[in-house]
Amino acid sequence: MEHDLDKARNQKLLLLAFEQMSGLKINFHKSELFCFGEVVEAAADYADLFGCAHGHFPIKYLGIPIHYRRLTIAEWKHVEERLEKRLSSWKGKLLSVGGRLVLINSVLTNMVLYMLSFFQLPKGVLQRLDYFRSRFFWQGDGEKKKYRLAKWSVVCRPKDQGGLGIHDLQVKNEALLSKWLFKLLTEDGVWQTILRNKYLGHKAVSQAYWKPGDSHFWAGLMAAKKHLFHFGSFAIKDGSEIRFWEDIWLGGATLREQYPALYNIARDKNNTIAQVLSSSPPNISFRRDLTGPRLMSWHNLLSRLDAISLTEGRDVFRWNLTTLGSFTVDSMYCALTHSEVPVSNNKKIWRSKIPLKVKVFMWYLRRGVVLTKDNLARRNWQGSKKCCFCTHDETIEHLFFQCNFARSTWSVIQ
């Protein structure tokens, strides 16, 4: 409602008339009135008029904080408090490192997934959440500080990528937001219509960008857009949803990647296929004349475009990471956490029928971070480096394999 006390009085009369006609009574004492912008100064007058309390942003609806502007780090404090409260309930329980690993993924991480699926969380909030998860994993419920044996970024890698499989919250956040973007591209509904009318107009989703004043939710979708289009491709129909240079629609890569020399000198790089193929020859202009290799590339591109014909209907976006072409959060998460850098094969460790805490210790062993005396010395420990079973320096190789005591132990086991 606009800032107008007379209109507010009329609104109050309408509510009272509704009570008389329906027999239902509005409990104004349990209601709250919210104002923003210039109206905040007159909030007390409106609250007195309606006989209700003056509420403050953000408000919660179905567990989601709602604000007319972007939420600040301080307004995310309630998420941290939930984690701290849950951690305090585990104090005094003697949890092994395997038990703590399970609780982090099944409880602590899942507690924030609902929020991650609606908003792009600020980096400061993500860092605080990782601090709580990291502290619980390495220290348990004790107050005494303990050594961190690996970087948290390494611990959060998938198991097949050399990590312990703890979810990376920032990557999970992007994967969850990408699901909304995929639905906006492929489905029709009330919320899709609202977003298209508010933010897109006649533009394609791929052409849209975040600008000041846009909602926090839309900002998250725009941040996730790059990777979504990288892992998907379009089946062309009317060409209105597909960027000519930036999206995958002709071949297995973007035309930007296939014809970099042409792309670098092209004007209007964000145009859709419909805008480019609306005339003959194609509506593409360049900042300089085409000669030599560029001219050859241009003729090659024109010959491929001759086979393209636009038809009625909306372009179809397909997710390339699943066989059915439908988006899944897991496929997006795996793609974003995949690394081309070779990692040691830990499959035997995780497939072994041994307690999880032993598997985690074996992971420490494979990474060479077990706190033997040589590793402690690197952390400024002042004790003797000698093995407690012999006179050699204590290293991982020596303690577990080379020491006479270790060899005799292995011989008994075998």
Q: Higher model confidence: residue 281 or residue 194? A: 194
Please check whether residue 270 lies inside any domain of the structure. Answer: yes
Same-domain pairing of 240 and 300: yes
* pLDDT given for residue 329 in this prediction: 96
Does position 75 have pLDDT exceeding 90, yes or no? no
Work out the pLDDT band at 92, boundaries 50, 70, 90.
low
* pLDDT given for residue 168 in this prediction: 95
Q: Which domain holds residue 33?
A: 5-56
* pLDDT given for residue 145 in this prediction: 80
Helix/strand number for the chain, H first, E second: 20, 6
Supply 401's token pair.
């394999």
Between helix 109-116 and helix 169-186 the angle, nearest 10°, is 40
The per-residue DSSP string of 160-196 comes to: GGTS-----HHHHHHHHHHHHHHHHHH---HHHHHHI
Please check whether residue 302 lies inside any domain of the structure. Answer: yes
Work out the pLDDT band at 342, boundaries 50, 70, 90.
low
Task: Give the count of beta carbons closer than 10 Å to the beta carbon of residue 221.
Answer: 22
Does position 332 have pLDDT exceeding 90, yes or no? yes
Please check whether residue 361 lies inside any domain of the structure. Answer: yes
* pLDDT given for residue 150 in this prediction: 92
* pLDDT given for residue 131 in this prediction: 92
Average pLDDT over residues 358-369: 92
Please check whether residue 243 lies inside any domain of the structure. Answer: yes
Average pLDDT over residues 92-121: 89
Task: Give the count of beta carbons closer than 10 Å to the beta carbon of residue 365.
Answer: 13
172: three-class secondary structure by DSSP? helix
Work out the pLDDT band at 227, boundaries 50, 70, 90.
very high
Work out the pLDDT band at 343, boundaries 50, 70, 90.
low
Average pLDDT over residues 334-356: 83
Residues 6+ apart with CB under 8 A from 290: 262, 298
Please check whether residue 95 lies inside any domain of the structure. Answer: no
Number of domains in the chain: 3
Average pLDDT over residues 301-327: 91
Cα gap 336→171, rounded to integer Å = 7
Does position 27 have pLDDT exceeding 70, yes or no? yes
Q: What is the pLDDT of residues 188-211, one digit of tens each?
A: 999 999 999 999 988 889 888 888
Average pLDDT over residues 347-360: 90
Cα gap 128→82, rounded to integer Å = 12
Residues 6+ apart with CB under 8 A from 256: 245, 246, 263, 269
pTM over 0.75: yes
* pLDDT given for residue 60 in this prediction: 82
Task: Give the count of beta carbons closer than 10 Å to the beta carbon of residue 7.
Answer: 11
Average pLDDT over residues 292-311: 91
Q: What is the pLDDT of residues 123-181, one digit of tens each?
A: 999 999 999 999 999 988 667 788 899 999 999 999 988 899 999 999 999 999 999 99
Please check whether residue 387 lies inside any domain of the structure. Answer: yes
Cα gap 361→164, rounded to integer Å = 11
Task: Give the count of beta carbons closer than 10 Å to the beta carbon of residue 136.
Answer: 19
| Rounded percentage of the chain residues whose pLDDT exceeds 70 | 97
Same-domain pairing of 243 and 300: yes
Cα gap 345→248, rounded to integer Å = 33
* pLDDT given for residue 142 in this prediction: 66
Domain boundary among 56, 71, 92: 56
Cα gap 211→261, rounded to integer Å = 30
Same-domain pairing of 363 and 398: yes
Please check whether residue 404 is in contact with residue 389, taking contact to mean a CB–CB distance below 8 angstroms.
Answer: yes
Work out the pLDDT band at 355, boundaries 50, 70, 90.
very high
* pLDDT given for residue 363 in this prediction: 93
Please check whether residue 380 lies inside any domain of the structure. Answer: yes
Does position 38 have pLDDT exceeding 90, yes or no? no
Question: Which amino acid is present at 306?
Answer: D
Closest CA to 215 of 241, 180, 242: 180
Average pLDDT over residues 379-388: 87
- What is Dmax (Cα atoms) for the chain? 95
Please check whether residue 245 lies inside any domain of the structure. Answer: yes
Same-domain pairing of 254 and 306: yes
* pLDDT given for residue 184 in this prediction: 94
Question: Which amino acid is present at 129?
Answer: L
Q: What are phi and psi of 235, to 5 degrees?
A: -100, 120
